[in-house]
Structure 1
Amino acid sequence: MDLPMDLRKRRKQSHKRRWSEHNSTRQTLILQAAVELIEEHESGAEISIQQIAERAGLARSVLYRQFDNREDLDARIREFIRQRAIEQFESAMVLDPAKTVGETLLDLMRTVVGWAADHPKLYRFEQSGRLHGHSAPQSGAVVGRQRLAELVWQRFSTVTAVLGIDVRPFHPLAHGVIGLVEGVVNQYIVAPGDSGRADPEAIAELLATSVWHLFSGHAADNGYRFDRDANAAALLGGLLDTAADGKRPPAAESGR
């Protein structure tokens, strides 16, 4: 007896969904296995398909079915690494109401610097070539910098929009700040050991202070003065209250 058309269609869709989920699980196993092997080997060491397959507990033929070729696999590994780093960065951007503005900024820099210091081999591999879904000239370094810059800008501009402050002219600085952080991390955290690797905490403090001065300097030029030792939640609450009243923020003084 033939099944109704709609039932056959639903069964077919269900089968496709289960197969897609199955493949997604396998791909995650493969990518996680590759990440583990990258961390275990010397930077730049060749890691074979066979090694990845054995670590993932799969046949080598499965890897060839999941990815177009070795270049595609490497591009997906870089994307996997980048996404993990961004997730940590996003978690660090959640405001802790008990901390000051300076402490919040320092925590953010500790997250970025700490991840690179804990995973220098992954950091280098992610920056060594293209990410999945991007053309060859767009390396992980370029794409990652753009993503982080836009993420920071989105959070910052969302708040300033509520406050009625036009910060559009400063959009390029979001990319500049990420470039500053990346440059310092590359030179002093993930550089080869014989180049004088710096203390991650000292680098995080240096970056936090530098970013603060950049922000507060531009704020002061526009008539705003902020104290980085002020409680972040209280400061934001005050800004929101005064913005609702159509007044200038209480933390602001005439800078002109």
Structure 2
Amino acid sequence: MDQPVGTRTSRRRGTGRWEEHNSARQTKILQSAVALIEENEAGEEISIQQIAERAGLARSVVYRQFDNRDDLDSHVREFILRSYVEQVENALVLDPEKTAEEVIFEVMRTVVRWAAEHPRAYRFGQNGPVHGHAADETSVTIGRHLVAEALWEQFTAWAALLGIDVEANRPLVYGVAGLVEGIVTQFIATEGEAGRPDQETVARMLTASAWHLFAGHAADRGYHFDRSVPTGVVLADLLAQAAERQDGDAARA
């Protein structure tokens, strides 16, 4: 994707409905570009004309929406990255009837499935600048950071509910995000190779790795978790322990 798009018109338009119209056009263009990336072999040239035709727009419309080809490509990477992160965030749901391991597995299965279903888009998103981010940042590092922050937000919310200070463990979520990204990238790169594990196996491997990391550090702090117990039961037990600690602190005060 290296043909020049041209320069976006400098003439200012009104706001409101025109901006919404342009936003809808940009989305259609980005969706079309991603669809073509996924349909063609990696590295195959995709022209602006192809993207415009796929979007049902005139090529001149694409010219007006983006500064040049590099600008379009950076927007495409942002679009891919946002779709990926949204999938992860939507999977981060704490179901009290499921075990922690089952909750983790749902997230890992979502990540692996998305990458397996969009391998060419996944790889394209890893190479080159991303719109809205520094030029030296790649989608790999940006995605790792966004996923880690989403995990951290959920983890700290649960920990705060239990009165547990986990700030010192913040680097761990970045380690988990990096582990996931590395294994998924390797999984995508071995597409078609003999002996390649299936999606379920990779998701289980990632789940076990994340669980052991979590359970091991928790055990070092005196918290021992049974991976077969539903999270609702675990949380209820931890809340009871927190209440007992508060009562004990109040009695000693």
Which residue of structure 2 aligns with residue 182 of structure 1? 181
Aligned positions of 1:5-84 closer than 5 A: 15-84=14-83
Secondary structure of 1:135's aligned partner: coil
Q: Distance in 1 between matches of 2:194 and 2:183?
A: 13
TM-score by length of 1: 0.87
Which residue of structure 2 aligns with residue 128 of structure 1? 127
Secondary structure of 1:90's aligned partner: helix
Q: Is the 8 A contact 1:82 1:144 kept in 2?
A: yes
TM-score by length of 2: 0.88
Once the two structures are TM-superposed, the CA of residue 191 in structure 1 deviates from its matched residue by 3.3
Q: Distance in 1 between matches of 2:56 and 2:42?
A: 24
Secondary structure of 1:193's aligned partner: coil
Aligned positions of 1:115-154 closer than 5 A: 115-154=114-153
Which residue of structure 1 aligns with residue 92 of structure 2? 93
Q: Is the 8 A contact 1:79 1:131 kept in 2?
A: yes
Instruction: Say yes or no: does 1:193 pair with 2:192.
Output: yes
Q: Is the 8 A contact 1:31 1:80 kept in 2?
A: yes
Q: Distance in 2 between matches of 1:72 and 1:203?
A: 35
Q: Structure 1's 170 and 135: CA in aligned 2 closer, same or farther, altered over 3 A?
A: same
Secondary structure of 1:188's aligned partner: helix
RMSD, matched Cα:
1.8
Q: Distance in 2 between matches of 1:222 and 1:53?
A: 57
Q: Structure 1's 94 and 63: CA in aligned 2 closer, same or farther, altered over 3 A?
A: same
Which residue of structure 2 aligns with residue 205 of structure 1? 204
Q: Distance in 2 between matches of 1:122 and 1:29?
A: 16
Q: Distance in 2 between matches of 1:161 and 1:99?
A: 21
Flag as ranges the 4+ runs of structure 1 deviating above 4 A.
none
Amino acid at match of 2:38: E
Once the two structures are TM-superposed, the CA of residue 198 in structure 1 deviates from its matched residue by 2.2
Unaligned stretches of 5+ residues in structure 2 = 1-13, 248-253
Q: Distance in 2 between matches of 1:59 and 1:195?
A: 44
Identity of aligned residues (%): 56
Amino acid at match of 2:157: T
